[in-house]
Amino acid sequence: MSNASDMPPDLEIIKRRKKEGIDIPLHKDVQAKGTSTYLEDIKFVHNALPELDYEEIDTSTNFLGHKFSAPIIIDSMTGGTPEATEINSRLGELAEKYGFGMGLGSQRAGLKSSDLADTYSIARKNAPNAFLIANIGGAQLAKGLSVDDTRKILEMIGANALVIHLNPLQELIQPEGEPKYRGVLQKITELVKSLDVPVMVKEVGAGISREVAIRLALVGVSAINVAGTGGTSWAGVEKLRAETQKDKVKIRLGELFWDWGIPTAASLIEVRQAVPQVPLIASGGLRNGLEVAKCIALGADMCGMAYPFLRKAADSKESLFEFANMITEELKSAMF
């Protein structure tokens, strides 16, 4: 075991940032302020004659060769700080019990420290059969993260798939950010060709445009997670972090770009039209099973939630499992 004094300064910075990435969304209001998911504008046509019994409804689905009990993914959140261990432990248990998918937070920290790798691998320990998604950032690819490093990230959690998160806005506003994206598409192409698992791409809350979706489809990504606006603002998170460091430029940028991006429903609709052959995950501000049903109706194959699961996991395992049961019932109710 290593202690804090043994760790290089950059790793200490990563650990602190990962901890703040948990604490700020849990204890500060960093949700969208002047925008939404647009899902509130989507209305179902009520069916007064459903001609089926509620208990007959089957929410299960297949995605990337794996069967899920419902089209739900616990979206990429955390790891890389000791505080994440219990959260990922509980989320792993949930994924295993309910047949959900689960994404891990960016795993760069796990490459730098075996102790921190355990904050991610605990999910696989508690979810031996679940569909787990490894995670690395586009900015790390641009800096030269190798295919071999990526394989280590996959091995860290016994991953079924890899997601590359695109977060240029967050990198721009983050006090320690690395807004360097030249060459990222070529790196994605290399991983698609080199890895034996599906390679997906996601945003982190600013949405995917039709133009970007087409570029990703052309290089062969296995799925796209649109991750639109309407939920947690990572520009907002980084703005609050910048306040503690008295970085006036980053504070100003975070406030100005708090709601920047494409609302989830709009992103989903245009990406589905642009790349009808590519499996899609809808995420960004989803808070209940009815919104999951709306996204499926708009063309999503799966739906991701992060903040609601984080909040419940930080509360208690009982609260987390109750929430999972509730959103499943909400989805079934919308299907009835």
What is the pLDDT, as a whole number, of residue 10? 81
Distance between CA atoms of 310 and 212, rounded to whole angstroms? Answer: 29
Residue 48 within a domain: no
Residue 54 within a domain: no
* Count of domains forming the chain: 1
Residue-number span of the structural domain to which 122 is assigned: 4-43+64-335
13-40 exposure pattern, b = at least 16 Cβ within 10 A, e = fewer: ebbebbbbbbebbeeeebbbeebbbbbe
Residue 88 within a domain: yes
Residue 53 within a domain: no
Residue 172 within a domain: yes
pTM reported for the whole predicted model:
0.95
Residue 134 within a domain: yes
Residue 55 within a domain: no
Residue 242 buriedness (CB in 10 A; 0-12 / 13-18 / 19+): buried
What is the pLDDT, as a whole number, of residue 9? 63
Residue 254 within a domain: yes
What is the pLDDT, as a whole number, of residue 1? 40
CATH number at residue 114: 3.20.20.70
- The residue ranges of the chain whose pLDDT is under 70 are 1-9
